[in-house]
Amino acid sequence: GVAVVVIDSPKTVNAITQVMLLSLAKAFRDLRVDRSVRAAVLTATGRRAFSTGIDLGDAERVFKMDESRLDDDIVHQMELCPFPIIGAVNGVAINAGFELALACDVLLASPRASFRDTHAAFGILPSWGLSQKLPRIVGANVARMTSLTAAPLTATDARRCGLVNAIVHEAHDAHDMRDV
C-alpha cells in the first residue's frame, strides 16, 4: 500500500524540532522494512507550509545532534527506502523543508507552493545535500540564483525547471497521488 508520513505542527508552520526529526526518521526507518509498503507520501498539515525549516527555538538541540547516528537522520532514512517517496507540497518549503522535499523521488505541488533556500542570507551551510541535489535537478544557474539570492521558486517556476513533477489543486489529494 501507500504509507503517508505527515509533518504535523501547523501552529509553528511546520517548523521542525529535534523531536520531530527523530520521529520522522523513525517513521521512514519503520516503513522501509514493512514489505506491504509500495510507496510513501511525505506531506504536511495545513495549507500555509510544507515546512518553514528548523524551529529556531529548538535550533541549538537540532544542530547538536550526533550526525554519525544515521538511524536518526531523516534524509538518510528516506534514501534507504526501497520504494518511491512522493512529496506533496501545499505551501512554503524553506531550508530544511526544501531539503526534505529534495529527498523525495517525485514532487507534487499546489499552485501556492514555493521553495526557498535562505541559508546564505544567514551565513550557514545547508546540511542535507541541497547544494548538491538542487543543481543536479534544476541546473547550476537556477540553483545558484535560488541559493544566493534567497528568492523563492514558485510552483510554476519549480515545474518549469524540473524540480516539481506536477502542479495539482491540492498536493495531498489522494487521487493525484494514486495517479502518480
pLDDT of residue 13: 95
Q: What is the pLDDT of residue 57?
A: 86
Give the total number of structural domains in the chain. 1
The answer to whether position 79 is within a domain reads yes
In a domain, 34, yes or no: yes
- In-domain check, residue 98: yes
Domain membership flag for residue 161: no
- Indicate the DSSP class of residue 28: H
Q: What is the pTM of this model?
A: 0.90
In a domain, 145, yes or no: no
Domain assignment present for 10: yes
Q: Determine the Cα–Cα distance for residues 110 and 172; give it in Å rounded to an integer.
A: 9
The DSSP 8-state label assigned to residue 112 in this structure reads T
Q: Contact 130/158 with Cβ under 8 angstroms?
A: no
d(CA 51, CA 42): 11
Does residue 124 form part of some domain? no
pLDDT given at position 179: 54
Q: Give the residue ranges of the chain where pLDDT is below 70.
A: 66-68, 170-180
pLDDT of amino acid 156: 98
Report the pLDDT value the prediction gives residue 177, as an integer from 0 to 100.
52
pLDDT of residue 26: 97
Task: Domain of residue 29: give its range.
Answer: 2-114+166-179
Q: What residues pair up with 7 in beta bridges, in sequence order?
A: 44
Looking at residue 55, which CATH number applies to its domain? 3.90.226.10
Instruction: Provide the pLDDT for residue 174.
Output: 46
Asked whether residue 50 is assigned to any structural domain, the reply reads yes
pLDDT digits (tens, 9 = 90+) for 11-56: 999 999 999 999 999 999 999 999 999 999 999 999 999 999 988 8
